[in-house]
A and B are shown apart, each in its own frame.
Chain A
Amino acid sequence: MSALETPPSAGLGRQIKGPSAVGSDPRRFWHLTRALAVTEFKLRFFGSVLGYAWQVMRPLLLFGVLYILFTQVIDVGTDTPLYGVALLLGLVLYTFLSEATGAAVSSVVDRENLVRKIEFPRLAVPLSVVLTALFNLGLNLGVVVVFLLASGGSVRWSWLEMIPLIVLLAILASGLAMLLSALFVRARDVKPIWDVVLQILFYGTPIFYTIETVQSSAPTWVAKALMLNPFAAILQQARHAVVDPEYVSASSAIGPAWRLIIPLAIVFGVFGLGYAVFRRAAPRLAEDL
């Protein structure tokens, strides 16, 4: 006890300050995030007969329905090149975003037994969900490539643009994951609200229709406004870079290229906001659950 009367905080060892978002050891943070993500990935299809195949099947089945609907019943894209591949790429990227954020909303609450029982950087929980979705995205993009080559597309250097695009998409998903998971602990109706937002996003983004259709059938500002949505801008650029250069690039779809600053600012703004909210909530997560 005598050591406590004078406060020589040096020499007493590490001070325990309670839980935080990232913690003091980035390597531990990464190990944990990875371990949680790998576990989740393994669990997702553990015990189902076809295993990982379902992961690829899910967007493919939706793709099949939409493809038949929009090429055979309602004609929205038969005149655009490689419409099927563009549709599939849109579905795959959307699946990533909805999977990452949808599962992240309740992630902290779902992992209650960890959060309340052990000290670890809290941010590992929502980020591991995003990482799991990234694994799935990798599998699904493989399918897109196979489809693209089979439909007569060609390998181009511009495919490399996918790397920064996926990074941007992951930043957006992480920001949303942090924000939503922290808010959900306090208000449980974040989940239904977010489900609706995801629905709106699905129809409000040129996924099963193309931006070219919008440009030709609506006032010009509509297409430009759609491109303010960062997900739409990322998807448009991905179609331009991967599927066929005839798809307009995001910069030309939005008008003058400088306007791309807006969707970019939204991506980083959401990330910054999500991080700030989560960091503020992190020390009390175990108590608020």
Chain B
Amino acid sequence: MPPVPPAVAVDGVSKTFRLPHERVHTLKERALHPLRRAGVEAFPALKDVSFAVDNGEFFGIVGRNGSGKSTLLKCLAGIYGADRGRIFINGRLSTFIELGVGFNNDLPARDNVMINATMLGLSPREARNRYDSVIDFAELREFEDLKLKNYSSGMEVRLAFSVMMHVDAEVMLIDEVLAVGDASFQQKCFDEFARIRRDGKTVLLVTHDMGSVQRFCDRAMLLERGDVVEVGDPEHVAARYLEINFNRGEVEAPHDESESSRHGDRRAEIVDAWFEDETGARAATVRGAGEHMTFCFRAQFREALTDPLFGVVIADDRGTVVFEASNLLRGASGTFAAGEETTVRIGFDNVLSSGRYEATPAIAHSGSGSAWIDRRERFATVVVTAARATDAVLDLPFELEIGPKARPGGSSSEEARPGGSRSGGSA
């Protein structure tokens, strides 16, 4: 194999921040407490991270807040020095941690373009030569003499993005710049990313947005608490990301055990509830896209009961009920003696979109809907990882067909435009 060096090589990089508990800022404090070193807590932001990005690759770096992805980017950019490990970059590097670094509100576009381009590594002569195409790309020719403070935020972003596109970097480090701008500008960014890809430039993109990871990245890496959890196929990494993200959510929102969320006369009690995946194993995470899953709960009977109703309500994390099921109209459940126990299983094909769902199981007296025996709100949770990023509740399979062109009649054809959808992952 010919030794083609990778565009970016990261070898065992670690970075630890020393976070003072109590910041000593003034000389008086130093003088009064010369021996007291403010308590320092070591916070390992990156732990022995290694990976390589090939030339021309579009590489995504994903992770939750605080996972170390921005620190990694700053180490790559040379803003932070790594404590251990080595980083190699092959080619002209440009960093876009923020659009418009060095922009100044009191200066007109021309000065700002010059400053920004110089900061990004152009010489003043190069910056001057490219000024016209920067302004034209940003479509701001008629506003070029306006001070930046009189620009709308969208115009400012356009200017900044335009400079960034004219720096001619071979390796680009980009941190969530897509999060700004209106939909049409985002579309322009996406188009521009597509062009960068075609030009064979190497891009490292840090993002929360699984949609853009899946759309642009050839490969992606998932960071979690400074460790590399996974490197590989973007679909796979995106699924892992959702899994990790929501599992943490489960810890934060534990089963609601309080009495106020429990109703009923307790002649029977729901003692346990859980979800099972396609294989029948208990699971905190299940796959969507039509795979079979089962909600189960176990009930203990204190008194003899005849034909109680068993049911469940499943709601998403916004509280919208997405699914209800019970044995009402499905036949009587029979008689149960005091001390007996039973398990209720409700199976269905899972077409829910990605996200966290909560189940409220209930037992009620037959005949009426609200004479509860025991109803436990939000008693079990499950995380669904669907393949597609969508904001909708359901992720249904669908066909889409664009009909033959027809002139009269006035019916506009459905445009199959891939909108910049944000996945439910950032909830």
Q: Which residues of A contact B (CB under 8 A)?
A: 1, 3-4, 7, 9, 11-19, 27-28, 31-32, 34-36, 39, 42-43, 46-47, 113-114, 116-120, 187-189, 193, 283-284, 286-287
- Known contacts: A12-B88, A27-B123, A286-B80. The answer to whether A4 contacts B52 by CB under 8 A is yes
- Known contacts: A1-B51, A27-B123, A35-B124. The answer to whether A118 contacts B79 by CB under 8 A is yes
Q: Are B111 and A13 in contact (CB under 8 A)?
A: no
Interface string of B100-130 (1 = CB under 8 A from A): 0110101100010011001111011000000
- Known contacts: A4-B9, A188-B26, A286-B79. The answer to whether A39 contacts B88 by CB under 8 A is no
Shortest beta-carbon distance from A284 to chain B in Å:
7
Q: Are B30 and A187 in contact (CB under 8 A)?
A: yes
List the B side residues contacting A42 at CB < 8 Å: 107, 111
Given contacts A11-B3, A16-B75, A19-B81, 5 further A-B contacts (CB under 8 A): A3-B6, A16-B78, A16-B87, A19-B80, A118-B79
Query: In whole angstroms, how far apart are the Cα atoms of A14 and B106 in the complex?
Result: 37
Q: Are B86 and A15 in contact (CB under 8 A)?
A: yes
- Known contacts: A3-B52, A187-B27, A189-B26. The answer to whether A43 contacts B104 by CB under 8 A is yes
List the B side residues contacting A17 at CB < 8 Å: 78, 81
List the B side residues contacting A43 at CB < 8 Å: 104, 106-107
- Known contacts: A16-B78, A31-B118. The answer to whether A118 contacts B95 by CB under 8 A is yes
- Whether, in the assembled complex, B169 has its beta carbon less than 8 Å from a beta carbon of chain A, the answer is no
Interface string of B1-25 (1 = CB under 8 A from A): 0010111010100000100000001
Shortest beta-carbon distance from B125 to chain A in Å:
9
List the A side residues contacting B121 at CB < 8 Å: 28
Shortest beta-carbon distance from B209 to chain A in Å:
21
Shortest beta-carbon distance from B4 to chain A in Å:
9
Shortest beta-carbon distance from A135 to chain B in Å:
16
Shortest beta-carbon distance from A21 to chain B in Å:
12
Number of A-B contacts (CB under 8 A): 125
B residues 36-74 with Cβ under 8 Å of A? 50-52, 74
- Residue of A9, A34, A46, A119 near B95 (CB, 8 A) is A119
Going nearest first, the 3 A-B pairs with the smallest beta carbon separation are A18-B81, A13-B90, A119-B78
List the A side residues contacting B104 at CB < 8 Å: 39, 43
- Known contacts: A4-B9, A27-B123. The answer to whether A32 contacts B118 by CB under 8 A is yes
Shortest beta-carbon distance from B103 to chain A in Å:
9
- Residue of B5, B74, B91, B95 near A11 (CB, 8 A) is B5
Query: In whole angstroms, how far apart are the Cα atoms of A143 and B262 in the complex?
Result: 86
Shortest beta-carbon distance from A87 to chain B in Å:
34
List the A side residues contacting B79 at CB < 8 Å: 18-19, 116-119, 286
Q: Are B123 and A18 in contact (CB under 8 A)?
A: no
